[in-house]
């Protein structure tokens, strides 16, 4: 599990705007919000909330990327359907979710299964984890993340 002050190793992620890798974007802050599934109620609300604040994040030299295990095509449709402004990444091979420790065992109606724990990581421009939100509740979350970015 990734912890505060951990230095993040370079990684590559397929996104709706092309390949993203940390090494080439290290001069910016980075918000990674992990969500369970594109185009579901909570995930849609979360992505819209970040999108509504994207100009403020941009003004603070911060890139915002939402990540799920959905295929890239689904992420692109999701972004288009809701006119989302944040970048969306596809982690179908589970490398990044595992790296950040958000791929966990969950339980619903007594059945256990593996899934993404809704979590957000703020990585500063030195490539270190500045703050972590786990078990995220969507209402007010994007605003809380923006407030924390302003501390950097």
Q: Which residues are catalytic?
A: 43
Q: Which residues contact 116 (CB under 8 A, 6 or more apart)?
A: 34, 35, 36, 68, 69, 97, 102, 103, 104
CB 25 within 8 A of CB 32: no
Helix spans in the chain (H): 41-52, 54-59, 72-82, 95-100, 141-149
């Amino acid at each position: 599990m990734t912890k505060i002050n951990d230095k993040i190793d370079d990684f590559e992620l397929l996104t709706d705007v092309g390949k993203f890798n940390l090494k080439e974007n290290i001069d910016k802050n980075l918000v990674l919000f992990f969500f369970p599934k594109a185009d579901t109620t909570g995930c849609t609300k979360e992505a819209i909330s970040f999108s509504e604040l994207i100009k403020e994040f941009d003004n603070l030299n911060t890139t915002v990327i939402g990540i799920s295990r959905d295929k890239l095509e689904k992420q692109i449709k999701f972004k288009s359907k809701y006119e989302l402004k944040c970048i969306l990444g596809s982690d179908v091979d589970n490398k990044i979710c595992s790296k950040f420790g958000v791929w966990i065992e969950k339980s619903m109606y007594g059945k256990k299964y593996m899934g993404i724990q809704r979590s957000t990581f703020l990585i500063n421009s030195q490539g270190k984890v500045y703050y972590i939100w786990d078990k995220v509740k969507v209402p007010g979350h994007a605003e809380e993340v923006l407030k924390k970015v302003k501390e950097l």
